[in-house]
Structure 1
Amino acid sequence: MPANPKHLTTSNWQRFAKISAGILGGYLVSVTFHLALSYWFYHVNVIITSAFTGFILWATLLVLAFLAKNGWKIWGLYLFITLLFSAIIYISKIYFPI
């Protein structure tokens, strides 16, 4: 059964923003989240479990990108979360050098 056209995104830019935010933005959030965890917990365990939890987190973020009304707001949110986790990584490198 095909989707109801009134629920589909008509703008090509919004469609592109949702697809790219879901795939690329979700991946960036997932990777930086696990890297930030690896500085606070034993990094070998985090890297091993990130093979599974990284995919689950990425798939969840991919679906959430399509549930939003505006793809550019999702891009902004994903970039903000990525920068937040990157700041945690930077601070962790200063206080816990490996």
Structure 2
Amino acid sequence: MSTAHVMTSALLRQFAVKTGSSIEVSTKLGPHTLLRTSFDQDAFPDDSELQASFLKSLIDDVKPGALDILAGNVARCLEDQATAVRKVIQAESKSATNNQQVNK
């Protein structure tokens, strides 16, 4: 399992948790979870310009109206979620590479 978080603001945080091929993203305001959804890693676009719109579409499908709560912070939250997802994918890739080198 890999985890990453990005501070969007002092109270607003974006999290990504990768377990196997599944990635869960969530937005927290202080201790409260505002939204949470998950997807398969293979569905996440490689093109960084498509990642925020992928997450927006996913959240809109799973939790219609949830992004309205974030008002003016939506774009930044989505970009920060994409950053957190990239971090967990990269962390797991580095871990797998290190394990392969150790096993040689």
TM-score by length of 1: 0.37
TM-score by length of 2: 0.36
Larger Rg over CA atoms? 1
More strand by share: 2
